[in-house]
């Protein structure tokens, strides 16, 4: 039996399918590729054997892409659904929005297309258990990326993206500008100077960090706190910012490359978004999670596993993978409670940053600081963590209530 990933591309233009076939010919040893010129042909191929990924054009005669992806969602809910299309009207977006995991704009080069598909597949690797699949099947729709983010993605895809253009796009949403500037200027982001414009923010932080900020802001703003008043959105947001900044500071201290620093910051910022999904869709069960945490003094992720059979880390990785985040960012989110290698990967940086924040920031007397069973602490990481926390305390202006981990505390964290 073949273990290849099965991917089907659907487009009524034979030339478009031919171009994709040529672009991906070197993936044929890894992927089982199929091509269909209509929705009906695609469903016939699904009936023979389901696909792991479907990439479909939206504008097609007879059965359009929105209808095709809707049917795939109903009958093959584990299939990752991607729309690869040119400019489409608002009505077409609305019709397909509940059935599409992510949109990819035409034209798209092979590298971008492969990265999007593999990023989505990595999220499924993290969430391969049947319990998670059942939970995902219950969710009618996942939050959709805001229009501003998609416009920025299109600009970033250009050979020479314009910071000025991206600043203009963000500035179209006054509320988003206000939120981003407020967050950037908070002590949790750790910038040395006041930032008073989006252009300045992009120049200082880079386009990738600003893009992840937009995603995070959108996710947190969609949450309705009325359904669960005992869940603190503010504390979660502030924790996410601190983890993002701690991961960045460690990466810079260790002299890692710019791409790793950016991805560590992104993964840190988004590492807990899975909590928002669980709280939003399963508030009653999450009440039970918080009761277990409070009464039994367990960590949140262990209580989540007890109730759901999965954790917010896995759910968040799934969401970010489906949205096309880089594979390393997806892994960093998915394994931020369980990674145990000292390798300076995104996963290690986020895992250590998360542990440092839970141990070094004292929110209140009853704050449940979990102890991480992490083999990193038994090796070189155990020696490094004292250096890192000392460096963080000295180089993070505005951070308060940060306790440096000494050798005695580190020994308590060991297995």
pLDDT digits (tens, 9 = 90+) for 254-290: 999 988 888 898 888 889 988 888 887 888 898 999 8
Query: What 3-state class would DSSP assign to 36?
Result: strand
Spatial separation of the C-alpha atoms in residues 187 and 89, rounded to whole Å? 41
What's residue 42's pLDDT? 94
What's residue 207's pLDDT? 76
Query: For residue 91, is pLDDT > 60?
Result: no
What's residue 415's pLDDT? 47
Q: How much is the average pLDDT of 347-351?
A: 92
Q: How much is the average pLDDT of 101-128?
A: 75
What's residue 87's pLDDT? 56
pLDDT digits (tens, 9 = 90+) for 304-340: 989 988 889 988 887 777 766 777 888 899 888 888 7
What's residue 149's pLDDT? 66
Closest CA to 32 of 11, 49, 12: 49
Spatial separation of the C-alpha atoms in residues 350 and 370, rounded to whole Å? 16
How many CB atoms lie under 10 A from the CB of residue 304? 27
Report yes or no: 368 and 355 within 8 Å, Cβ to Cβ. Answer: no
Query: For residue 180, is pLDDT > 60?
Result: yes
Q: Which of 94-108, 224-238, 310-324 has the highest mean pLDDT?
A: 310-324
**Which CATH number is 147-413 given?**
1.10.3210.10
Domain segments of the chain as ranges: 5-108, 147-413
| Percent of the chain scoring above 70 in pLDDT | 72
Query: For residue 89, is pLDDT > 60?
Result: no
pLDDT digits (tens, 9 = 90+) for 121-179: 777 777 666 666 556 545 554 455 556 666 776 777 677 888 888 888 777 766 667 66
What's residue 55's pLDDT? 92
Query: For residue 200, is pLDDT > 70?
Result: yes
Q: How much is the average pLDDT of 18-32?
A: 88
Q: How much is the average pLDDT of 352-380?
A: 67
How many C-alpha atoms does 375 have within 13 Å on its Cβ side?
6
Spatial separation of the C-alpha atoms in residues 213 and 227, rounded to whole Å? 25
> Quick check: bond before 107 cis, omega within 30?
yes
CATH for 5-108, among 3.40.50.880, 3.30.420.40, 3.40.50.2300, 3.30.390.50?
3.40.50.2300
What's residue 147's pLDDT? 65
Query: For residue 182, is pLDDT > 80?
Result: no
Mean pLDDT of the chain: 77
Report yes or no: 352 and 250 within 8 Å, Cβ to Cβ. Answer: yes
What's residue 405's pLDDT? 65
Across 10-14, 35-39, 70-74, 403-407, least confident range: 403-407
Dihedral sign computed on CA atoms, order 103, 335, 351, 243: positive
């Amino acid at each position: 039996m073949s273990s290849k990933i099965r991917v089907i591309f659907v487009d009524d233009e034979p030339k478009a399918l031919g171009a994709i076939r040529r672009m991906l010919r070197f993936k044929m040893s890894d992927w089982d590729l199929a091509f269909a010129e209509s929705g009906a042909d695609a469903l016939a191929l699904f009936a023979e054997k389901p696909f792991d990924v479907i990439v479909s054009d939206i504008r097609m005669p007879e059965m359009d892409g929105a209808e095709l992806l809707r049917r795939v969602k109903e009958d093959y809910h584990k299939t990752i659904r991607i729309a690869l299309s040119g400019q489409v009207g608002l009505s077409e977006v609305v019709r397909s929005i509940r059935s599409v995991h992510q949109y990819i704009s035409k034209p798209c080069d092979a590298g971008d297309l492969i990265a999007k598909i593999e990023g989505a597949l990595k999220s499924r690797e993290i969430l391969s258990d049947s319990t998670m699949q059942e939970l995902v099947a219950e969710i009618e729709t996942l939050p959709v990326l805001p229009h501003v983010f998609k416009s920025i993605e299109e600009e970033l895809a250009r050979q020479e993206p314009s910071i000025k253009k991206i600043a203009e796009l963000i500035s179209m949403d006054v509320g988003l500008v206000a939120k981003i500037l407020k967050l950037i200027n908070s002590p949790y982001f750790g910038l040395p100077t006041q930032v008073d414009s989006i252009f300045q923010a992009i120049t200082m932080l880079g386009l990738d960090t600003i893009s992840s900020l937009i995603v995070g802001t959108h996710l947190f703003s969609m949450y309705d706190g009325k359904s669960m008043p005992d869940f603190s959105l503010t504390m979660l947001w502030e924790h996410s910012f601190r983890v993002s900044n701690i991961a960045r500071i460690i990466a810079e201290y260790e002299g890692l490359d710019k791409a790793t620093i950016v991805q560590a910051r992104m993964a840190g910022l988004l590492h807990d978004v899975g909590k928002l999904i669980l709280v939003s869709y399963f508030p009653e069960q999450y009440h039970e999670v918080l009761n277990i945490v409070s009464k039994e003094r367990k960590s949140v992720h262990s209580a989540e596993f007890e109730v759901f059979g999965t954790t917010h880390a896995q759910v968040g990785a799934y969401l970010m993978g489906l949205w096309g985040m880089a594979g390393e960012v997806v892994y960093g989110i998915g394994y931020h409670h369980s990674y145990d290698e000292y390798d300076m990967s995104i996963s290690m940086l986020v895992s250590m940053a998360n542990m440092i924040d839970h141990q070094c920031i004292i929110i209140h007397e009853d704050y449940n600081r979990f102890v991480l069973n992490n083999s990193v602490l038994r090796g070189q990481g155990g020696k490094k963590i004292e250096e890192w926390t000392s460096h963080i305390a000295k180089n993070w202006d505005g951070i308060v209530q940060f306790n440096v981990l000494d050798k005695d505390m580190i020994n308590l964290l060991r297995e």
